[in-house]
C-alpha cells in the first residue's frame, strides 16, 4: 500500500463514528435532567459545553471518558460560596442524575459527578460550573473546599486555530498520538497529548500544506520531537496556559516509536511497512493483502475489538524463566543483556507493577511470530485469562522465533493499562 493509503485508512478507522450518536443522546439526557432542576425547564438541552478530547475534536473510536460542563444559573453563586458549597452542589447534581438513571453507578469525585454507563462503556464526568465574564468557569473542588478556575474554551479555540493553520494536521496528529498511546500503554492524558502536538506545530510549518502522502515523515519527526523533550513534571496547556501534569515519562516509548517509524519508511511499499506502522498505531492500521495463499490460520485477536481502550494507568510485566538445573532468571534482565531464550524453558509471566486500584480484571495475549509459527499453524494470539496464581500466565517455550506476550488491565469494562514483553527464542535448540 502507498503511504497515503495507509494513513487515510488509519484516520478513517480512528473516527468516533456511530458512537457519536449515542454520546449526543446521553449528553442531551443529562442536560435535560439538570435544566429541569436548576432552571425548571422541561426538555431543554441548553447550558452545557462538551470539553476534553471530545470537545476539542481530538477523540478517537473507543473514547470512554466524556467531559461535560453544565453551566449553572449565575443567581445561585452566592448560595454555594461557603466551604461546604462545592460538596452541596456536586451532591445536588448527583441526586438529579441518580433520579434520571436509578440503575446507573453515579458518584461524586472531587470536582465532577461520574456517570458510568455500563451498557456502552461510556463514563460522563459532569462538572457543574459558573461562567465568568471572560468565558472561563468556576468549578467546585471538594478537596480544596472552594471553587477553582478552568478555561476550556481557550483550549478549544487554540486547537481550532492550530488545526486551521495546519490544514487539519493538528487534529489528525492528535488522534494518531492517542492511537499510539492506547496501542503501546503510554500513560498520557488527552490534554497533554494535544498540548505536545500543538508545541510540535509551533516549531515547524513544514507539513502545514502537505497531504497524507507526507504523514510518515510527519509522525517520524513528531516522535523525534517527543523523545528529545526534557523531563518535566508538567506543561502549560495550549490556549489556557493551565498546568497539565506528566504522570509518567513518555520519552522511552516515543524513542521506540521513532525507531519503528524509520523501519516502516525504509520498507515503504512492502507488506512489512504496514506491520511496522501497526506496531506504532495498533490494529487501526490496515494490513497489506497477501498475494500468496496463507498456509496458516490467523487467530490473532485484538483487545480493542472487545473493550474500549483508554490508557490512563501504568502496568509492568516480567517473566520468570526456569529450566531444570538452572537458576530462575528475569526475562527483562536477559533482554537487557541481549540473551536469547532457548526452547523447552518454563515461563511464568507476572505483573510486577500496577497503578490500577482493585477490583479489576486481567487478560493476556500470547502471540507467536515467524516462519516456524506459521509452518506449525500455531500463531495463537487469542485474548486469554490468567492460568496461574496472582493473575499470572504460565507458558513454555517450544519453538524458535519472535514471540510477544501482552497483558491488559480492565477496569469498569475499559482497558486502562497494558504492557508487552518480547520473547525471542533462539534458533540454537538444545
- Backbone torsions φ then ψ of 404, nearest 5 degrees: -135, 135
The half-sphere exposure of 175 on its side-chain side, counting CA atoms within 13 A, is 28
Give the pLDDT confidence score for residue 429 in this predicted structure: 41
Q: What is the pLDDT of residue 358?
A: 92
Distances 200 to 194, 219, 228, 379, 427 between C-alpha atoms, Å: 10, 11, 12, 39, 43
Res 212: pLDDT:
96
Q: How far apart are CA 325 and CA 344, in angstroms?
A: 13
How far is Cα of residue 237 from the mean position of the Cα atoms in its chain?
19
Which pLDDT band, with edges at 50, 70 and 90, does 289 fall under?
A: low
Lowest mean pLDDT among 91-100, 182-191, 222-231, 388-397: 388-397
Please state the three-class secondary structure of 80-96 as a single string. Answer: HCCCCHHHHHHHHHHHH
pLDDT value, residue 325: 62
Question: Is the CATH number 3.30.460.90 carried by domain 19-150?
Answer: yes
Task: Give the start-end residues of each E strand in 241-379.
Answer: 243-245, 315-322, 329-330, 346-354, 361-368
Residue 430 predicted with pLDDT over 80:
no
* Mean pLDDT (whole number) for 104-108: 95
Q: Which three cell numbers stand for residue 55?
A: 470537545
pLDDT category of residue 380 using cuts at 50, 70 and 90: confident
For the cut 90, the answer to whether the pLDDT of residue 95 exceeds it is yes
Domain 296-425 has CATH 3.40.640.10: no
Cis peptide before 359 (omega within 30 of 0): yes
Rounded Cα distance between 259 and 282, Å, is: 16
Total count of residues recorded for the chain: 430
pLDDT of residue 6: 97
CA 177, chain centre distance (Å):
9
* pLDDT(292) > 70: no
Segments making up each domain of the chain, as ranges: 19-150, 155-257, 296-425
Measured distance CA(97)–CA(114) in Å, rounded: 10
- What's the predicted TM-score (pTM) here? 0.90
Residues 6 or more apart whose Cβ sits within 8 Å of residue 359: none
Question: Would you say residue 378 has pLDDT above 60?
Answer: yes
Residue 422: pLDDT band by 50, 70, 90 thresholds? confident
Q: Tell whether the model's pLDDT for residue 420 goes beyond 70.
A: yes
Amino acid at each position: 500500500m502507498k503511504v497515503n493509503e495507509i494513513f487515510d485508512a488509519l484516520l478513517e478507522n480512528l473516527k468516533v463514528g456511530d458512537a457519536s450518536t449515542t454520546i449526543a443522546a446521553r449528553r442531551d439526557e443529562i442536560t435535560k435532567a439538570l435544566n429541569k432542576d436548576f432552571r425548571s425547564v422541561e426538555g431543554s438541552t441548553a447550558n452545557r459545553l462538551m470539553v476534553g478530547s471530545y470537545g476539542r475534536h481530538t477523540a478517537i473510536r473507543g473514547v470512554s471518558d466524556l467531559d461535560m460542563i453544565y453551566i449553572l444559573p449565575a443567581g445561585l453563586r452566592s448560595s454555594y460560596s461557603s466551604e461546604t458549597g462545592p460538596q452541596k452542589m456536586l451532591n445536588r447534581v448527583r441526586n438529579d442524575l441518580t433520579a434520571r438513571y436509578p440503575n446507573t453507578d453515579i458518584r461524586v469525585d472531587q470536582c465532577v459527578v461520574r456517570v458510568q454507563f455500563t451498557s456502552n462503556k461510556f463514563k460522563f464526568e459532569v462538572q457543574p460550573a459558573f461562567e465568568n465574564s471572560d468565558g472561563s468557569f468556576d468549578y467546585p473542588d471538594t478537596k480544596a473546599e472552594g471553587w477553582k478556575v478552568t478555561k476550556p474554551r481557550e483550549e478549544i479555540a487554540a486547537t481550532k486555530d492550530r488545526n486551521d493553520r495546519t490544514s487539519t494536521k493538528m487534529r489528525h496528529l492528535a488522534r494518531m498520538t492517542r492511537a499510539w498511546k492506547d496501542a503501546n500503554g503510554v500513560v498520557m492524558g488527552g490534554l497533554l497529548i494535544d498540548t505536545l502536538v500543538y508545541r510540535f506545530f509551533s516549531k515547524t510549518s513544514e507539513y502545514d500544506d502537505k497531504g497524507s502522502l507526507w504523514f510518515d515523515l510527519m509522525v517520524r519527526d513528531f516522535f523525534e520531537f517527543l523523545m528529545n523533550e526534557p523531563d518535566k513534571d508538567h506543561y502549560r496547556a495550549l490556549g489556557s496556559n493551565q498546568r497539565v501534569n506528566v504522570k509518567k515519562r513518555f520519552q522511552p516509548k516515543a524513542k521506540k516509536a521513532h525507531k519503528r517509524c524509520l523501519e516502516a519508511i525504509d520498507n515503504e511499499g512492502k507488506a512489512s511497512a504496514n506491520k511496522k506502522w501497526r506496531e506504532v498505531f495498533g490494529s487501526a492500521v490496515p494490513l497489506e493483502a497477501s498475494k500468496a495463499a496463507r498456509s496458516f490460520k490467523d487467530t490473532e485477536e485484538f483487545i480493542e475489538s472487545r473493550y474500549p481502550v483508554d490508557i490512563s494507568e501504568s502496568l509492568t510485566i516480567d517473566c520468570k524463566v526456569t529450566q531444570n538445573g538452572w537458576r530462575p532468571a528475569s526475562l527483562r534482565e536477559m533482554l537487557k543483556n541481549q540473551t536469547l531464550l532457548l526452547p523447552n524453558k518454563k515461563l511464568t509471566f507476572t505483573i510486577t507493577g500496577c497503578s490500577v486500584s482493585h477490583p479489576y480484571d486481567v487478560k493476556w495475549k500470547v502471540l507467536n511470530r515467524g516462519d516456524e509459527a506459521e509452518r506449525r499453524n500455531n500463531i495463537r494470539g487469542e485474548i486469554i485469562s490468567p492460568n496461574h496464581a496472582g493473575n499470572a500466565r504460565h507458558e513454555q517455550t517450544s519453538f524458535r522465533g519472535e514471540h510477544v506476550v501482552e497483558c491488559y488491565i480492565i477496569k469498569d469494562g475499559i482497558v486502562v493499562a497494558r504492557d508487552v514483553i518480547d520473547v525471542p527464542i533462539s534458533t540454537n535448540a538444545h
